[in-house]
Amino acid sequence: MATADLISAFRSQRFVTEAVDVSQNLSDSPFTVEWLLSSLHARDAKFNAIAQGSKIEHISAYDISQGKGFVSKVYKVSIKFQHLHEPYQVILKIPGSDSFNDDPSNVDGDELVTEDFVSNAHNTECDFYTRFAPNINIPLAKMYKVIEMNKDSPGALLMESMVDSADSNPLPVGATKEMAYNIATHLATLYKYFLCLPQDQWVGKYTHNSIASFFQKDHLFKYFEKVKEIKPEAFSKAFETFENYLCSTKFYSYVTTTVYKDIGLPVVLTHGDIWTNNLLWKKNSDGSLSNELAVFLDWQIFHEGCLTNDIARFMCICMDGDVRRKHEFKVLKFMYDKIVRLMQEEGKSVDFTFEQMKQGYKANFIGQAAQLMFLASFLFIGKCWTDEEKPIRLTQREKVLLRTQYAMEDAIRYFEDIPKDRVD
């Protein structure tokens, strides 16, 4: 059936009751109910199976971003069928800078991200889902509609919902070692895919690291200074060591991305932004989080780089210092061994050692520790906390600041081995 026929079919009252106006927009988004239904009818088998036996009586869309979608708005869309007790749910993600620039933590109202930044990030994610995702056996969300952002279109990703079956692990709650091993397992699969994929299909096409470019704005410096002001005894040395690098794209580009060239590691395509907000974990039967990843989200920063950067970001930002220090190199060795085994199954070998991976990890860790300094400040400014929230949020901030302190202590040591002509 042609797309025009699908849309026409969904304009028919065969699929909705008279109470549903298919011309209405989904919340404050530019997309209509008609667009939603035609998109699902084209790609979602489960939706079609339900629709065969029941009409839709109500549709709602609710913004669930709440500070988690830094360069997008994320809507939970609920479709209520007449004969089902629970609504059928999907997720609609629309790119935009408002959620980041208007975040309460942005106390001075700075333009932290531009529309060009948002457009590039969204279109990179679209590329990942259309070109690579179908061939990679890692936990990914099912996509029902992928629309790039351009002057004629706001862009969108329409995907399956995991709101009820999975959740993120809050930043102040340190990730477990089991979570780290689970992440490492999936990253090994991701990198094996690109190590086996002919390089002419991807090398040179995704060279831009958007996070490195983000940290070129001088007005971000105040967020790093804030950490030193809160705990000068813990961060004065770190601030002194990295003061000239904290807002340097050259610094972040080298330590998180291109350092692999000097070490002798192969280039791979990396997620680039693996941390709390971009990971959902499966729920146990009692509603608690398991150690099994449900899905990697937000492939907006997807880029060519160092195969240790993703795991360095996860362990630096998400794990408490004591747990990380005890297990990080065991996890890294596990990931190396997993890559070796997966490559052997493909009849191939690796031409790099674990020691090279360890060297790459330490370099990557430096950049991630610096970014954790920013997050510890930006996410816990406290200007908009209520009296009820304040004691809780201050306690959470203390936990994240302690994690940041231990990360910066290690980063200072690792930085001694970085050739300064690469970052100055």
Q: Does residue 269 surpass a pLDDT of 50?
A: yes
For the chain, state the CA radius of gyration: 22
Residue ranges covered by each domain of the chain? 12-124, 165-422
Instruction: Mean pLDDT check: name the lowest of 56-70, 225-239, 407-421.
Output: 56-70
Task: Tally Cβ neighbours within 10 Å of residue 90.
Answer: 24
Q: What are the backbone dihedrals phi and psi of residue 19, each rounded to the nearest 5 degrees, phi first? A: -75, -15
pLDDT digits (tens, 9 = 90+) for 164-190: 899 999 999 999 999 999 999 999 999
Pairing of strands 279-283, 289-296: antiparallel
DSSP H helices in 264-389: 309-318, 321-345, 354-378
Angle at 386 between CA 380 and CA 388, to 5 degrees: 105
pLDDT at res. 6: 46
What CATH number labels 165-422? 3.90.1200
Separation in Å, CA 31 to CA 67, 154, 256? 22, 9, 37
CA distances from 191 to 137, 197, 250, 271, 383 (A): 11, 10, 25, 10, 41
Assigned token pair, 139: 């936990």
Could you tell me which residues are beta bridge partners of residue 295?
A: 280
- Please name which of 286, 366, 301 lies closest in space to residue 113, comparing C-alpha atoms: 301
Concatenated DSSP letters of 196-214: HS-GGGTTTTS---HHHHH
CA distance 149 to 132: 19
Give residue 382's region: left, alpha or beta (phi > 0; psi -120 to 50).
left
Which has the minimum average pLDDT: 196-200, 242-246, 297-301, 380-384?
380-384
